[in-house]
Amino acid sequence: MNNLAEINTGDGIEKPEMNVHVDRASENSCLSTLPKITSFLIPKEYELLPNASEVFELELAYYEYKLLTKYDIVQRGAFFKSVDGVYTNHHIICSNNSPLTWVGRSKITKSYFKEGNFSTGYATHGLFPYRGKFHPQLIKGILNILKIQPDHVVLDPMCGSGTLNVEASLLGINSVGVDKSPFCNLMSKVKYEALRVDKTQLSTILSNSYKNYKILTNDKNIPEDFSYNDYFKPEKAITLLAFLDAMGYARRSSKSIGELYPSVIKRYVGQIGAFTQAREKINLQIGKSKFEIGDARNLPIESNSIDAIITSPPYSFAIDYAENDRPQLEYLGYEINKLRDEMIGLKGKNKKEKLANYFEDMDKVLSEMTRVLKVGKYAVIIIGSNDIQTGGIRLETKVEEMALKHSFVVDQKIVKPIKGIQNTMRDEYILFFRKV
Ligand SMILES: C[S@@+](CC[C@H](N)C(=O)[O-])C[C@H]1O[C@@H](n2cnc3c(N)ncnc32)[C@H](O)[C@@H]1O
């Protein structure tokens, strides 16, 4: 199978054998004779994860089943618990939890995170609650159906918290993450580096947590080994991210950074530690990731060098990413207003002007995506419809129209409902563009 367009062109679903006949007239007919809808899609030796229940999840699970071997599903599948009774790596990574993860967390938060165990809360994805980040399990599913291999390089030109890079690294794939925000650059790098630390580094983080807190609160300039330049030290950078997390948390609660930081740092160590154990258990080889502060409209990347792009641009002006990260950016010494001018979705005096600038910028982004991508490869764009805020203009339709002018064809579209903000945005569209 060469491309995604061929998956659902009637290549025939092999239906598992079962007695689906229900005698409607008979008083003896009983519910236990009714087959589960998933049994028409996937044979019973493939056990789905408990959260794989929404249509988009079943769609991706079905594609994984069709496109990957049983061995590959165990190694890299995103939606399966086991195959032939063998647990998948995804299930093992997600099931390993540490009690430290729950320090200082309310019952509601705890149950929310437990529910998201297989979709959002595993590996290092839970380290900083970045607004508007990808659904990590979905990204793993996309990497799988695109059949991306460890010798490939994938790119997110607006990488935010680095979800694509973490997912690619978990599959041993090399990746590049570009974002205009220096805070995103730090966050994505830390989430990636945290995949590779060992137990000794984690105990150093805990034993130095108070001393480092004092340094971070007292020093006017953050010492170089805490930041993300040439002196990068993972233990210090993880501590810095925990400190910045407590800073954001304090903005939303009645507690101070000092009160929140001890539980945040323990949670970081707990989550990373749980992942480290799972990594060792399954001997996971982590792919290499590179991060750049850069502009998606003018990518610092060679032409025809990338095997896949998976990205999610700002959904026009739905989230003000500069304002959102103001405390962290200011603490790191960056000038917010200067940054705003270069961020997609933020320029313009009113909605009309902002939308016009947004589409102009997105046109440049699409042109850059075609330039850096190899021919025949995919750029996957995840974008919310956002038509309530835009006064009826559908972002996914406009982006699709623009992409067709940049040597892309559309091979697949998957719709994913957005939970929690149904009154502002109902759906996200996963658009699979192939460079021709
Ligand atoms: C929807 S978020 C991406 C979230 C990301 N997929 C994740 O999982 O965390 C959009 C990102 O675009 C970035 N961005 C905005 N303008 C940009 C530009 N001109 N160049 C690169 N990145 C930009 C923002 O900083 C933000 O992180």
pLDDT in tens, 189-208: 999 999 999 999 999 999 99
Number of domains composing the chain: 1
- What's the gap in Å between 309 CA and the centre of ligand 1? 14
Is there a domain that residue 298 lies in? no
pLDDT of residue 261: 96
Is there a domain that residue 279 lies in? no
Is there a domain that residue 342 lies in? no
Model confidence at 228: pLDDT above 90: no
Q: What is the DSSP letter of 287?
A: P
Is there a domain that residue 37 lies in? yes
Is there a domain that residue 46 lies in? yes
Model confidence at 329: pLDDT above 90: yes
pLDDT of residue 193: 96
Question: Distance (Å, rounded) from C-alpha 225 to C-alpha 232?
Answer: 5
Is there a domain that residue 58 lies in? yes
Is there a domain that residue 33 lies in? yes
Is there a domain that residue 57 lies in? yes
Provide mean pLDDT across the span 237-257.
94
pLDDT of residue 393: 86
Mutate to test the pocket of ligand 1, among 321, 357, 383, 399 (most ligand atoms within 8 A of CB): 321
pLDDT of residue 229: 64
C-alpha to C-alpha distances, 205 to 65, 187, 210, 223, 272, nearest whole angstrom: 41, 17, 9, 16, 11
Q: What is the model's pTM?
A: 0.92
Provide mean pLDDT across the span 267-285.
96
Provide mean pLDDT across the span 137-166.
98
296 lines ligand 1 (CB under 6 A): yes
Q: Cβ of 5: how many Cβ atoms within 10 Å?
A: 14
Binned at pLDDT 50, 70 and 90, residue 9 comes out as very low
With a pLDDT cut of 90, the percent of the chain lying above it is 70
184 lines ligand 1 (CB under 6 A): yes
Of 40, 45, 82, whose CA–CA distance to 58 is shortest? 40
The enclosing H or E element of 322 equals: helix 321-324
Provide mean pLDDT across the span 236-240.
94
| Range of the structural domain that residue 78 is part of | 1-87
Q: What is the DSSP letter of 53?
A: T
Handedness of CA 272, 274, 278, 283 (dihedral sign): positive
Closest ligand 1 atom to residue 361 Cα is 19
Cβ-Cβ contacts under 8 Å for 134 (sequence gap 6 or more):
160, 163, 164, 312, 382
